[in-house]
Structure 1
Amino acid sequence: MSPRPLFTRRPPLGRLRRGWGALIMGARHLRSLPILERHQELGDGTDLPAPWPMALVDERTKTIAQGHGPLFHRTFTVRAVDVRHSAADVVDTLSRDLDRGAPPHVVTFARERGEPGRMLVGDEYRVYMPAPWDGPVRVLARTERSFRFGTLDGHLEAGEIEFRAADVSDGVVDFTIEVWSRAGDRAAELLYGRLGVGREVQAGLWVQFCLGAVRLLEGRREGHVREITRRVPARELDGR
């Protein structure tokens, strides 16, 4: 595999704009802390994600086994009530344009493989982030109410992420983002696993994405955005 490039070739203005957006998102995240309910637990081997479909594994694949340090299994869930749209509606909207749920000027999901306007297994995206690298991902699964990405070579992390929604009752939808991630290399392990900077940036992003999903549902948030983080020691991952 080729080493992860430290810098992309995008124009500096785009990076600076996203950097400014990251500051805005950071401020929003601080303001959202009162509505965030956080739990931390010790994880184990049961926290591993589903394996990649063999047909999607190639030389660019970057699975949990290729990561470094502990695995962080995280879920971010929000309940929307008095909604005007269903769980399938919000997932369909996001599958056609992921930027609809993302904090503006901070993260952009650019399609690199697949047809515009829909999402199919095997499609690829590049997640442009406020950092000196970007995150390539591939669609591993797609259902009416969910889709899942896996990381590719060049991503800061090694892992998977799933976006899903569920109709709880009439006018009530739960939206969840579930993340399984390890640091993609030794440098990232310092920022992500030991210092926790990357994890907090990730939390801020996905909390804001959950709130974006509530807006797309045209409902209102009920209760807190709930975050559960389960840390799985690296020794539990040997040979996985």
Structure 2
Amino acid sequence: MPLRRLFSRRPPLGRLRRGWGALLMVGRHLRALPITRRRRERGDRTDLPAPWPLALVDERTKTFADGRGPLFHRVFTVRAVAAEHGAAALIETLSQDLDRGAPPHVVTFARERGEPGRMLLGDEYRVYMPAPWDGPVRVLARTEYAFRFGTLDGHLEAGEIEFRAADSGPGVVDFTIEVWSRGGDRVAALVYGRLGVGREVQAALWVQFCLGAVRLVGGRREGPVREVTRRVPADELG
């Protein structure tokens, strides 16, 4: 594995703070398990993500086809009721500052390309995670109710992730995080695909992000946070 993937750009203090934050997140995740409904299914080629816009493809692009091992298509959803803010306001808030939905001291979304306070196609972020590596991503889609990232060279994973929200009635907001991911290389495929460690860290993060979205709209959660994971074997990916 290249050295740039083994060592983060962040300073040592930031790594320590995020490591401590990761321990706190694990504790919060264990407490959230009773309100989480998880389902596993076998996937197929209908689970593949949308292709990258051609204008955003370059030598740094890292699509799911560049990954190793099976593809995991995961959907995390939560419903907020008695919400003070709607779906569009939620997405606008997150697009201005993604850290507002993330568990504190665990993950930071640092802008590397684009103007502060707004999110446009082609903007780039570096996701500082509770691990020795960072995750560079690029904005592939942006609408009033959603935005999507694609991974870039140097990311642990290869794939895409979409954040979206919908108004489902007066004061009712449904928030969804949809992930398509494979290991970015052989080592990552072992950790993420075979051992499942990376997938559990990912699940803990996005469940907590869903709960953060409920707080941001000023509502309360109705029902569980739902997670559906569909596994597509590598030999079916073409």
* Cα shift readout 1:11-59 (whole Å, capped 9, x = no counterpart): 2111000000000000000000000000000000000000000000000
Q: Are 1:119 and 2:100 counterparts?
A: no
User: What does residue 45 of structure 2 align with?
Assistant: 45
Contact 2:5 2:134 in 1 (8 A): no
* Cα shift readout 1:137-174 (whole Å, capped 9, x = no counterpart): 00000000000000000000000000000000111010
Contact 1:137 1:150 in 2 (8 A): yes
Q: Are 1:78 and 2:86 counterparts?
A: no
Aligned CA-pair RMSD? 0.9
Cα offset, 1:4, TM superposition: 4.8
Give runs of aligned pairs for residues 61-100 of structure 1, distance below 5 A: 61-100=61-100
- Please, which runs of 5 or more residues in structure 2 have no aligned partner? none
User: What does residue 174 of structure 1 align with?
Assistant: 174
* Cα shift readout 1:79-105 (whole Å, capped 9, x = no counterpart): 000000000000000000000000000
Task: Report the Cα distance in structure 2 between the residues aligned to 1:123 and 1:45, rounded to whole angstroms.
Answer: 29
The structure 1 segments of at least 4 consecutive aligned residues displaced by more than 6 Å after TM superposition are none
In the comparison of the two structures, how many residue pairs are matched? 237
Q: Are 1:23 and 2:4 counterparts?
A: no
| Amino acid of the structure 2 residue aligned with 1:16 | L
User: What does residue 198 of structure 1 align with?
Assistant: 198
Task: Note closer, same or farther for the CA distance 1:42–1:4 as it changes in structure 2 (3 Å cut).
Answer: farther
| Amino acid of the structure 1 residue aligned with 2:95 | S
| Amino acid of the structure 2 residue aligned with 1:160 | E
Task: Note closer, same or farther for the CA distance 1:9–1:126 as it changes in structure 2 (3 Å cut).
Answer: closer
User: What does residue 33 of structure 2 align with?
Assistant: 33
Percent sequence identity is 81
- Please, which runs of 5 or more residues in structure 1 have no aligned partner? none
| Amino acid of the structure 2 residue aligned with 1:167 | D
Task: Report the Cα distance in structure 1 between the residues aligned to 2:168 and 2:148, rounded to whole angstroms.
Answer: 21
User: What does residue 11 of structure 1 align with?
Assistant: 11
Task: Report the Cα distance in structure 1 between the residues aligned to 2:57 and 2:48, rounded to whole angstroms.
Answer: 17
Q: Are 1:235 and 2:229 counterparts?
A: no
Task: Note closer, same or farther for the CA distance 1:67–1:3 as it changes in structure 2 (3 Å cut).
Answer: farther
Contact 1:148 1:162 in 2 (8 A): yes
Task: Report the Cα distance in structure 1 between the residues aligned to 2:78 and 2:109, rounded to whole angstroms.
Answer: 22
